Chain A
Amino acid sequence: MKKESGNVTKANALTNIHNLRISITQDLFRIMFLMFTSLVLGIIVNSIHPMGLPIRLSKVKTPGIPTWVWNQLHITDAQTAFEEVSAGQGLLVDVRDRKDYQKGYAQGAINLPYHEFEEYYPAFAKRVSKEEHLFIYCYGSIECVLSSRVAKRLLVYGFKNLTTIKQGFAAWKKSNLPIDKKSQDMK
């Protein structure tokens, strides 16, 4: 009796394992199908989306930037930006975090921190004309992505004339260009 019930338990366990294997195999195929379908759906939606992204990074160097935005952005170096701003041909915008801005910023730059964009933008929009030529800079990595991201947001809001400064604040300091520490509060 004991041996018989032991055999039945063993048979049940083997059946359960077998059923589990079938379930998991079935699930894996369905999951692959779902992943493929959602990929196709995503590509279709992306192709008609106003903020659709390039699938491959070639012309557009930074992820998260639509091609039409990239085409409207200009890039310049710190020295050229300084000369243009000094000649009254533009305005500097510092998109670094507030605490970093307060430690020192390019002379005359207005702070519009990327990570607090929604809070700072209303005051920025009241003060800065949409026709103004804006020179945007961030920290200074080789691909200064925060500048591009803020520029993208500003383009969507109607600012047309935007230039990002290559290697941002690091390049500004390296070129020994004037730096301020007194806060230009936007909030």
Chain B
Amino acid sequence: MSEFILRILKHSWIMKILRIIIGGIFIYASFDKIIHPDRFAGIIMDYRILPWSLINISAIWLSCLELLVGVLIIGGIWVRSCSLLLIFLCLLFIGGMSFSLAKGISLHCGCFSTSLSGEARTWGSLWQEGLILLGCVWLWRMTLKRD
């Protein structure tokens, strides 16, 4: 049974769908950040991790990085490298959010929107990021022999 499931998950169509989903998530996530870099910088600031001198450049850079990597993954270019980079970004993000939550800082994710409406993030809401991380890890693992 588990072999059958593994075979399905390794199928090229499943991998294509996974690439489109993951690439699409990051492209979608980048839009609001590119349109509102000021608000995104404010959200990064709320994490209280980076020094102030690095916040603006991080806001400018991260949004474009997400867009670029999302486009490349959907296009099937350098998928292994892009998914490795996304794994790193997901871990960085989960780590940053965990650090801020542990300090008791109430914050909005800034993942898909720079709007402040909506609930502040909690430990329980990290599962969404965990799911994306799993998808990136699977994508990387399956492309290990290619590219």
Contacts and interface: CB of A to CB of B under 8 A. Distances in A.
B116 A117 contact: yes
Interface residues of B, number: 38
Nearest to B59: A53
Contact of B81 (A31, A45, A52, A57): A31
Nearest to B140: A27
Interface in B7-41: 34, 36-41
Interface in A74-116: 114-116
B95 interface: no
B69 interface: yes
Contacts of A69: 38
Given A27-B80, A27-B81, A53-B41, A116 B53 contact: no
Interface string B112-124: 0001110000000
Contact of A64 (B56, B81, B117, B145): B56
Contacts, number: 105
B101 interface: no
Contacts of A45: 34, 60, 64
B99 interface: no
B interface, by DSSP: helix, strand, loop or mixed? Answer: helix
Interface string A132-176: 000000000000010001001000000000000000000000000
A65 B40 CA distance: 11
B137 interface: no
A26 B56 contact: no
Given A30-B78, A149-B42, A116 B65 contact: no
Contacts of A12: none
Given A30-B78, A31-B81, A52-B37, A38 B68 contact: yes
Contacts of B85: 31, 34-35
Contact of B60 (A20, A35, A46, A152): A46
Nearest to B117: A118
Contacts of A46: 37, 60
B38 A51 contact: yes
Contacts of B147: 23, 26
Interface string B80-119: 1110110010000000000000000000000000011100
A66 B65 contact: no
A39 interface: yes
Nearest to A41: B64
Contact of A31 (B37, B52, B84): B84
B144 A34 contact: no
Interface of B: 34, 36-42, 44-45, 52-53, 55-57, 59-61, 63-65, 67-69, 72, 78, 80-82, 84-85, 88, 115-117, 144-145, 147
Given A27-B81, A63-B56, A118-B116, 13 more contacts: A38-B65, A38-B68, A42-B64, A45-B34, A53-B56, A57-B52, A63-B52, A63-B55, A64-B40, A64-B45, A64-B55, A118-B115, A145-B45
